[in-house]
Each structure stands twice: as structure tokens, then as C-alpha cells.
Amino acid sequence: MEQWNQVEELFLAAAELAEPARSVFLERHASPELRREVESLLLYDSSNTQPFATIIEESAVSMAPQHRPAFGWRYD
């Protein structure tokens, strides 16, 4: 789980950068293994019509618990 969090953080930060700043950022902040993973996600992101960051965000929102009343349901 920790590695996924690192990949996600690096991806979101790198996605905001243009080349060559993106490569420099990843070289400074990611191990070779993490860099390969992030670069593969960035490649997918650039070839997809819906940015991967948006997909991650939408997935997180859909997985979040729905708000429920603290003391049960109200029936009218």
C-alpha cells in the first residue's frame, strides 16, 4: 500500500509538469522502480481521452463511504 501511495503522489505531481522538468523531477524523487511505474502511468494518461488523474479521483469518490444519519434512517 505504501508503494501505491508513493506512485500516486509522484504521478499526480509529475502529471502537472512538462518535459524536461518531468524527467528531472522523477529522477530526483523516485527510485528506478517507482519511476518506471509512474512513467507507464503517464504514458497511458497521455494516450487516453480521459486523464488518469481524473479516473483516480472519480474512483476514490465512488469508493468513499456514503453519508448516513448517525441514529438510523428517517421514514416520512
Structural domain boundaries, residue 15: 2-59
- For residue 71, being part of any structural domain is answered with no
Is 68 domain-assigned? no
User: Do the Cβ atoms of 38 and 57 come closer than 8 Å?
Assistant: no
How many structural domains comprise the chain?
Answer: 1
Q: What is the pLDDT of residues 14-36, one digit of tens each?
A: 999 998 999 999 999 999 999 99
Q: Is the dihedral of CA 28, 29, 31, 34 positive or negative?
A: negative
pLDDT one-digit tens code per residue, 48-71: 666 666 666 666 666 556 555 555
Specify the DSSP element, H or E, that contains 58.
helix 52-63
**Model pTM score:** 0.60
Tell whether 42 is covered by a domain.
yes
